[in-house]
Amino acid sequence: MNSEELKDRVKDDLGQMLEAHGIKADISEHHVEKLNASYEALSITPLISAEYRSL
């Protein structure tokens, strides 16, 4: 398994696990560069339903 396959699998498995717990989220990939170093990152943003926005 290469790094791309690993990243895709983690993203898919994480999304399934969150959904199984009733959590809807957007999972996005990012390439980050900081002070002569770079890495790939996943960001998880919870999706808030309309019923919670009105509170």
Domain boundaries, the chain: 3-53
Q: What is the pTM of this model?
A: 0.69
CA 48 centroid distance within chain: 15
What pLDDT digit, counting tens, does each position of 4-50 carry?
899 899 999 999 999 999 888 999 999 999 988 999 999 999 887 65
Residue in 39, 37, 47, 46 with CA at minimum distance from that of residue 7:
39
**Spatial CA neighbour of 45 closest among 29, 25, 21:** 25
Separation between Cα atoms, residue 49 and residue 39, nearest integer Å: 32
Stated length of the chain: 55
